[in-house]
């Protein structure tokens, strides 16, 4: 019961934060966006709309992050990639038109309106139940007297309070509100995020774009596989194979020197032993790069935990999986997490990383979060673009929420069954 009570109080506080954010941030952004779009015909909106829409996207991404962290509600992101930046008026017009044509922009603006109406109403209920219940207890404790003297009969919800007796009834009703809050506040918080998801989740208009993306990722997968095979052949030829050839030549020389110059033969034997050890190390590293043994033997969760132990930054790994997914999916998820962790360590600048792995609703979901400086994006040349292509091979999606100042949350989802 204490755990439920704590969860309800936390949900009430979070609901208050969400309600204030909606009634201040969403209202301001919604109003400014409409005004800016209306000013496009006179030219001013061409310059003000792109920055405002960028703020709206950051606001929406922040809500996606809170939905995942506070209620485990995943809201995918599907913004079109920005083209190469061009200077001058033509570049500004192109950027403005591109952002307005993006279906995600319409969803963002629709979500702003939903957030300041239904979203705010649901969010404010969570703290309101506790505050109304507390006020009922205060009325019974004596607050009813100055309230009634100042304004006459006071209506507490649907109960008229005019004296000590009715104030006692108000206390009973307030207790009922707090008991109700204990059970429904987490549900209200999740409902708020479900309302946001209904507006922000990509719709059917992205199907054609998704088909094109899948076609491109299939080609990328073929090209990546060919490049990987060439890398393996090169590493074998230049590394382990060269050492083994040199070791064979040393053994031939040892055969000729073993009777004539035993001392020199011993030196060559020691060199051959060192060369064989180096060749074995290179082969192990090569195999680990193709498919880590711990991944094959113990599954994705333990393989990611092993990755976390080697990081210079403290990393917490939470795994909720009852079985294992297919080996190709495990491998793709493992290397995607590895790349996300590498980016967090190299570029995030934070001092803490969290990895959450779960399999629900026939989908493998992985979230990598760090408390660094933010600013990560999926663009040409970035490591995350490679992760997106790798996941796209399995019809997976990648969402990045990384506002300036952090935190950064990289969410990956791959449709798959669990055995």
Please report the DSSP string for 113-126 in residue order. Answer: HHIIIIIHHHHHHH
Q: Is the alpha carbon torsion for 145, 151, 153, 154 positive or negative?
A: negative
Q: How many CB atoms lie within 10 A of CB 353?
A: 23
What is the spatial distance between Cα 352 and Cα 370, in angstroms, rounded to a whole number?
6
Closest CA to 304 of 312, 316, 288, 314: 316
pLDDT digits (tens, 9 = 90+) for 222-262: 555 555 556 556 656 666 666 666 667 767 777 666 667 77
Quick one: pLDDT at residue 329?
83
3-class secondary structure for 384-413?
A: HHHHHHHHHCCCCEEEEECCCCCCEEEEEE
Task: Give every residue of the chain whose pLDDT is below 70, as ranges.
Answer: 81-88, 203-247, 250, 255-259, 279, 281-292, 361, 378-383, 418-419
Q: What is the C-alpha radius of gyration for the chain, rounded to an integer number of angstroms?
A: 30
Burial class (CB in 10 A: 0-12, 13-18, 19+), 20: middle
The residue assigned the tokens 């076609």 is: 215
- Strand (E) or helix (H) holding 195: helix 164-200
Quick one: pLDDT at residue 84?
44
Closest CA to 279 of 241, 328, 332, 250: 241
Closest CA to 221 of 406, 6, 390: 390
What is the spatial distance between Cα 165 and Cα 162, in angstroms, rounded to a whole number?
8
Please report the DSSP string for 50-61 in residue order. Answer: HHHHHHHHHHHH
Q: Is the alpha carbon torsion for 35, 39, 44, 47 positive or negative?
A: positive
Residue 363 DSSP label: E
Q: Is the alpha carbon torsion for 178, 180, 186, 191 positive or negative?
A: negative
Quick one: pLDDT at residue 283?
63
The alpha carbon torsion through 166, 169, 175, 180 (nearest 10 deg) reads -110
The answer to whether the beta carbons of residues 161 and 144 sit under 8 Å apart is: yes
Q: Which residues contact 263 (CB under 8 A, 6 or more apart)?
A: none
Ramachandran area for residue 406 (φ above 0: left; ψ -120 to 50: alpha; else beta):
left
What is the spatial distance between Cα 180 and Cα 194, in angstroms, rounded to a whole number?
21
User: Cα–Cα–Cα angle for 30, 33, 35, nearest 5°?
Assistant: 110
pLDDT digits (tens, 9 = 90+) for 342-374: 888 888 788 889 999 888 767 788 889 888 888
Q: How many CB atoms lie within 10 A of CB 89?
A: 11
Q: Which token pair is 118?
A: 């239904």
């Amino acid at each position: 019961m204490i755990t439920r009570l704590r969860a309800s109080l936390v949900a009430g506080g979070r609901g208050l934060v969400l309600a204030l954010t909606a009634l201040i941030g969403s209202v301001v952004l919604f109003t400014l966006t409409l005004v800016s779009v209306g000013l496009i015909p006179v030219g001013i909106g061409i310059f003000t709309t792109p920055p405002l829409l960028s703020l709206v996207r950051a606001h929406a991404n922040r809500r996606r992050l809170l939905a995942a962290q506070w209620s485990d509600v995943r809201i995918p992101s599907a913004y079109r990639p920005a083209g190469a930046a061009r200077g001058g008026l033509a570049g500004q017009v192109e950027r403005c038109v591109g952002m307005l044509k993006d279906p995600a922009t319409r969803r963002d603006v629709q979500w702003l309106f939903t957030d300041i109406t239904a979203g705010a109403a649901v969010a404010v209920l969570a703290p309101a139940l506790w505050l109304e219940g507390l006020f009922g207890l205060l009325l019974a404790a004596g607050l009813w007297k100055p309230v009634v003297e100042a304004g006459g009969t006071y209506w507490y919800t649907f109960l008229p309070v005019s004296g000590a007796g009715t104030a006692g009834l108000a206390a009973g009703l307030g207790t009922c509100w707090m008991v109700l809050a204990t059970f429904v506040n987490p549900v209200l918080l999740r409902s708020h995020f479900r309302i946001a998801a209904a507006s922000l989740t990509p719709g059917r208009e992205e199907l054609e774009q998704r088909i094109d993306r899948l076609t491109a990722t299939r080609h990328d997968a073929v090209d990546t596989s060919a490049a990987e095979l060439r890398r393996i052949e090169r590493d074998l030829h230049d590394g382990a194979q060269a050492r083994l050839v040199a070791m064979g030549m040393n053994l031939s020389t040892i055969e000729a020197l073993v009777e004539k110059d035993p001392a020199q033969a011993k030196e060559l034997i020691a060199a051959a032993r060192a060369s064989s050890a180096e060749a074995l190390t290179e082969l192990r590293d090569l195999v680990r790069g193709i498919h880590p043994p711990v991944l094959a033997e113990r599954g994705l969760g333990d393989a990611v935990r092993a990755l976390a132990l080697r990081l210079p930054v403290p990393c917490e790994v939470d795994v909720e999986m009852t079985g294992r997914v297919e080996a190709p999916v495990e491998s793709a998820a493992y290397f995607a997490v590895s790349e996300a962790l590498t980016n967090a360590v190299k570029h995030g600048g934070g001092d803490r990383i969290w990895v959450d792995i779960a399999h629900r609703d026939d989908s493998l979901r992985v979230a990598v979060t760090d408390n660094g400086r933010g600013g990560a994006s999926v663009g040409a040349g970035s490591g995350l673009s490679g992760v997106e292509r790798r996941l796209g091979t399995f019809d997976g999606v990648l969402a990045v929420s990384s506002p300036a100042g952090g935190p950064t949350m990289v969410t990956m989802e791959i449709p798959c069954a669990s055995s």
